[in-house]
Amino acid sequence: MALLHSFEKSGNVFFRYRGQFPVLLFLLAIPVIYFTDYSQINEINELALTYISVILSAIGFWIRAVSIGTTPKGTSGRNTKSQVAESLNRTGIYSMVRHPLYLGNYLMWIGIVVFTFNLYFVILVTLAFWLYYERIMFAEERFLERKFGDDYLEWSKKVPAFFPCYRKYIKGKIPFSSKTVFRREYSGILATVFGYAFIDHLRFYFVHGYFDIYRISTYLLAIAMVLAFSLRSIKHYTKLLNEEDRS
């Protein structure tokens, strides 16, 4: 099999199972937190790293929200079995970067990884993310190239794949929809808050030898769970979040 086809095949496989990537992070975080020497991290550094991690995740969520909230039906979907695209989006955030959703994913999850306070883990996850998602982006771009031909090639030559170029911004034609974000991103918010709570409680246990459920992360997780359950119920049992021409 030619390397080109091998990359595309593996990318399509990774695409179908990309939702399991966070699970792997949680499993890897356990030994990382256990072997990290937190006695070398003072309160100032801990607070600074916490702020950095939360800011990274917040930026990642903002990028995903803008991507999802300003794109029409047929793009930026949550399809898991195969690539789907009814139209080629070349304005808004997609005029600055070709894969904003994957950029958002990276920042959301690398923020959680930074919260482990382990630099080596940050480097390891960054390399793993790049190798994993590079295949996915390659397969996705092969699909788009076959479907949209020269239109896609001309756009892809001008717009960077992963690092945004703000000078290339073209105002989008579709206004931002908070309803779309609420309808589609509640699970991502819950997963992110769960990741922070998981690391916070695990680190506290390894350092102090017991669990303390009365921590800020516990209350934040409870709020996120109520929010996610409420939005899920509204999505499935009402039409309040429905919009025409939105995914």
pLDDT tens string 108-151:
999 999 999 999 999 999 999 998 888 888 888 888 888 888 88
More confident position, 181 or 145: 181
Total domains in the chain come to: 1
Quick check: is 191 in a domain? no
Quick check: is 246 in a domain? no
Can you tell me the distance from the alpha carbon of 185 to that of 238, in angstroms, rounded to the nearest whole number? 17
Quick check: is 239 in a domain? no
> Tens digits of per-residue pLDDT, 88-116?
788 889 989 999 999 999 999 999 999 99
Quick check: is 42 in a domain? yes
- Residue 100 is part of a domain; what is its CATH number? 1.20.120.1630
Quick check: is 73 in a domain? yes
Quick check: is 71 in a domain? yes
Report pTM. 0.88
DSSP tag of 5: H
Domain coverage including residue 35:
3-175
Answer whether 217's CB lies under 8 Å from 197's CB.
yes
Quick check: is 238 in a domain? no
Quick one: 101 exposed, middle or buried, by C-beta within 10 A (0-12, 13-18, 19+)? Answer: buried
Residue type, 217: S
User: How many CA atoms are closer than 13 Å to the CA of 229, on its beta-carbon side?
Assistant: 6
Quick check: is 220 in a domain? no
